[in-house]
Amino acid sequence: MGSHTSERTMPRSPRLDLATVPQHVIQRGNDRQPCFFREIDYIRYLQDLREAALKCGCQIHAYVLMTNHVHLLVTPREAGAVSRMMQSVGRRYVRYINDTLARTGTLWEGRYKSSLVDSEHYLLACYRYIELNPVRAAMVALPDEYRWSSYACNGRGSVDLLITPHPVYRDIHPDAESRRAHYRALVAQGIGEDELAMIRTYAQRQRALGTSRFQQAIELQLGRRVGIGAPGRPRKAVDGG
């Protein structure tokens, strides 16, 4: 049918975007160059992100600010909210960086990438994927040691006004300390290579990460394919919990 070729060559296919469905968002620095240069830059980005999230009706569940890219796990109140949030924080932060560092031009690598996330099966995997980024990059030995992520809040209970716990995270345990202890144990287990590769692939290709049932439900709402592989035949790994 030639559908695969057209999908690969289409320059700006619309993102998958639905109200109340979580998204794993990745924003990279232009040409993989740094987008954070000083401690105050991380602080400023988080402030700008919180204001933009509140204004646009987005809930941030997990995040990590790496030297040259950002990962977010976010649920929008309505379609289009994540895009508006990313545009708002992007413009404000670039203006701040250019003004304070006397530079010009772009900071980000064009459009951010995002994938829808099946909250029932993959949400907590995305939480861990995001917060373990500094460990995988060998920047720290433990997620506790990295300042610019949501792990201190989700794993240790530190106050972070940016974070809104997702119901799936809250449902880990009714008691907050027991919930955090369980989550710390979950993070300590790490993520298997298959799941790691799947999260990366679905984010890169901007598809819906989840079971075949989740993908079919999204396809019914959006009227387009949202999985990876032949229509009606999602990869076997996707069907696992």
- Is residue 148 one of the residues assigned to a domain? yes
Local structure of 231: helix, strand or coil: coil
- Is residue 114 one of the residues assigned to a domain? yes
Q: What is the pLDDT of residues 88-139, one digit of tens each?
A: 999 999 999 999 999 988 899 888 999 999 999 999 999 999 999 999 999 9
In angstroms, the CA 227 to CA 75 distance is: 20
- Is residue 227 one of the residues assigned to a domain? no
For 126, 129, 168, the CA distances from 191, given in Å and listed in that order, are 10, 7, 18
Q: Looking at the DSSP assignment, which residues form a beta bridge with residue 60?
A: 74, 163
Place of tokens 């740094």: 34
**32: containing domain:** 15-221
- Is residue 183 one of the residues assigned to a domain? yes
Q: For position 34, which CATH number holds?
A: 3.30.70.1290
Query: Could you report how far apart the first and last alpha carbons of the chain are, in Å?
Result: 31
Looking at the structure of the chain, the number of domains it has is 1
- Is residue 131 one of the residues assigned to a domain? yes
Encoding tokens for residue 106?
Answer: 């772009």
Place of tokens 């119901």: 167
- Is residue 2 one of the residues assigned to a domain? no
- Is residue 51 one of the residues assigned to a domain? yes
Residues 6+ apart with CB under 8 A from 215: 208, 226, 227, 234, 238
**pTM given for the model:** 0.89
In angstroms, the CA 208 to CA 15 distance is: 10
- Is residue 179 one of the residues assigned to a domain? yes
Q: What does R_g of the chain's alpha carbons equal in angstroms?
A: 18
236 pLDDT band (50/70/90 cuts)? very low
Q: What is the pLDDT of residues 193-218, one digit of tens each?
A: 999 999 999 999 999 999 999 999 99
